[in-house]
Structure formats: structure tokens, C-alpha cells
Amino acid sequence: MSDAPELPKKEEEEEEVTPEQEEHSDDSSEEEATGDTEMDFLRNLFSSALGLGSAEKVLDELSLDGVARYIKSGKCRNIICMVGAGISTSAGIPDFRSPGTGLYANLQKYNLPYPEAIFQIDYFKKHPEPFFALAKELYPGQFKPTVCHYFIKMLKDKGILTRCYTQNIDTLERVAGLEGEDLIEAHGTFYTSHCISFGCRQEYSLDWMKEKIFSDDAPRCDKCSSLVKPDIVFFGENLPVRFFSSMKMDFPRCDLLIIMGTSLQVQPFASLVGRVSKSCPRLLINMERAGQADHLLGLLGFGGGMDFDSDKAYRDVAHISTCDDGCLALADLLGWKAELEELVKKEHARIDSQDKKEKASESKGAAAKASTKFVCVCVVCVEMPYSIVSVLQCVYVVYLHVCWRNAKITDTCWHLKEVSGTRARQTGSHS
């Protein structure tokens, strides 16, 4: 049997790739990667809900001690923090849902049809006054970050924080030193504001908005006179695009999820707990348990909630306390407590010093305004009879002392005397 002739190999022809094809290829790759991530998410949901696969134990103990030992082991390098209003309550900012003390329980004075209306975009467009009145009470810059905020900052400084996802709009994460790539403000921020007109969308700064809010005016756009709204997400608005793009990248590689100060009732934020892998431990620090699995929904593939108590529990830990106490307890177990307390003390002192400088600057501005008013009064006084000028001197000195605390009475009297003397010389009177 003769050997069959070897067929010549067909040379591969190199095709020139056009920029359009290359762009399409990149888009396809990105879509495939996103699709893989979504499929992993669905697999995790079904596997968890139906009890498929073997759950590998990742903590030696389902407690705060077990979490601390896991962090100290060096296996934990990509921590994600999910935080809500509960981390800011010790700073004096109320949460939303606590009975009696929560924000929604104390909005009667605004005569709202229902509490949530104050954060609904359609209601805001017609009645912006209640929101801006509330914003004046809760405006960023009047509060200091808490122990919990600085604990998250320590995770960043130690190189083990992937990102912090926050529901809060108080900007305290930024004040504590988290910003840029460190932070996803899922429900927006006061840091910037925009005109609500789609044809304008002019951007405004934090200082601009602050001036408007504290002057008791509903902020209006300088260009088109439409309302200007801080970039916080109202009910009826979409979450920031960056929230969705970052979560697809961050959560699959997370190796410890720390959830603090949130009831996990608002979607889509609450669903993030189900986006980590099955081997990722999840720690909840909160005043009550939250985010627990709904077994009925789990059977339909919409689970992903946490399991603290069942026989199958293997990675979820609930530490019931205030967020500050929980963070201090965890820091103590990690050997970081003294460092954390020193960081809080140092940063609060820095903020106090900065506030004093700002107030001093504001006082100088007030003094300048007072000086302008003083000059105006003096100009009028020169044209008045001397006896009236003397009365005005006394009244104005008291006015400056009471209303402009930084004005020196001796200096003010000297200036008034000089003006009076000028008037006396002009009229032949004696001072």
C-alpha cells in the first residue's frame, strides 16, 4: 500500500484588520467578559439556593474573632466595604428608618404627602422647598467622620481595600480620606450639583450650592433659571454608571465583604451581597440582622442572601453592635486599636483647626462688610448736625460690637472721633 501523497498545507492569509473591525472585536471581548461575570453570578445564585456543590469552609470560626484571624492570615487582600446611614449616626446624622429617631419619622414639619416624597424627583420638581430645608439641616461640612469611616481608611492605608460602596450622601467618606478610585457613591453625592434641565446640565460646586442653601433660596441655574439639584440619586432616577461598571469588576475578586450600617432593603445596592464568590466570607456589623436569605425566592434563583444560623452556614458572620463599636472590636482583635484611636484623634483635631481657620476667614469677611457700612455711615454723618452725629456714634459702636464681634470698640471709637473731629473743624464746633 503506497503512502498517500501529503497534501500541501494551506498558507494562512493575513487579513488586514480595519479600525472598525478592531473596535468591534474589543466590544465583543468586553461583552463576553461581562457575560461570563453574569453567568458566574447566576451560577452562584442557583448553587446557593439549591444547595449544589460543596461549600468550602473559609473561616475557622463564624465570629468576629474568626474574621480577624482570616485577615491576619494574609489571605485577604481585596476587601470591599458596603456601608449605609448607620455608620454616620454617631456623627449626629440620623439614619432613615429607625423608629422615632430616623429621618422618615421626623419630617412632619414639611407637610409631605408621605415621607419618601422628599427624595422623589417628580415631587422635587414641583416642590423643591422641603428638600432644601432638610439639606440645610444635614448639609455636609457640619459633621466629622466616625470611627467606622476611619477604620475603612485604615484598610485603604494597609493596601487591602478594593473599594468602599456607600449609600450615604453626607460625603464623610471623602472627609475621612476616601475618594477617587477608593469610593463608589451609589446614591450620589452633595459634592457636585447640576441643573436639572436636560438641555443645560450646567455643573455647580459644593461651595456654590452651600451658599444658595444657606441663603434659604431654592438654587436656580445661572444660565437657564431651572432648578439646580445636588448629584444625589432620587427615587425615580438611575444610579451612576460607575456603580454598575465597577461592581462587575470588583465583586468576583472580593475575598472579604464587610457590610456596615445598612438595612439592605434598597435595590440594587442590597443585591451586591450575592455578587461575591461562594468562598468569600461576609461580615455584617449592624444594630440588627439584615440581608438574610429568603428561601422561597432562593428556590426561584433570586437568593444570595446571608445565612447566619442554619446548619449550612459556613461564611456569614453577624456582629450586632453600633458600627463604631464593631470596628473598634475588630481593630482590637487585629492589633490596630491604638492606631485607629490615634488616627481619629489626629484627624478630628485637624478638622477642628481647619474649621477655626475658615471661621476666622469668614469673620474677616464680615469685618470688611462692617467697615464698608461704617464708611457709608460716616459719609452721611459729615452732612448732619453734630449732635446727631454724636448719637449715631454711640449707636453704631454698639452695633459693631454686638453684630460684628471681631470689631474693636477702641478702634471704632477712634475712627468715629476722627470723623467727628473733621466735621467739627468744618463747622467750627468742638469735640
* Residue 257, H or E segment: strand 256-260
81 known member of a binding site:
no
376 known member of a binding site:
no
How far, in Å, CA of 246 to CA of 79, rounded? Answer: 14
224 known member of a binding site:
yes
How far, in Å, CA of 79 to CA of 58, rounded? Answer: 15
Q: Known catalytic residues?
A: 187
Half-sphere exposure of 408 (CA within 13 A, CB side): 4
Angle between helices 129-137 and 206-214 (to 10 degrees): 100
First to last CA, the chain: 138
How far, in Å, CA of 190 to CA of 136, rounded? Answer: 12
Nearest alpha-carbon partner for 193 in 184, 185, 183, 205 = 205
* Concatenated DSSP letters of 157-215: HTT-EEEEEE---S-HHHHTT--GGGEEETTEEEEEEEES-TTT--EEEHHHHHHHHHT
Query: Mapping DSSP to helix (H, G, I), strand (E, B) and coil, where does residue 258 land?
Result: strand
200 known member of a binding site:
yes
C-alpha of 257 from chain center: 19
How far, in Å, CA of 117 to CA of 253, rounded? Answer: 38
How far, in Å, CA of 381 to CA of 400, rounded? Answer: 16
The binding site for Zn(2+) consists of: 195, 200, 221, 224
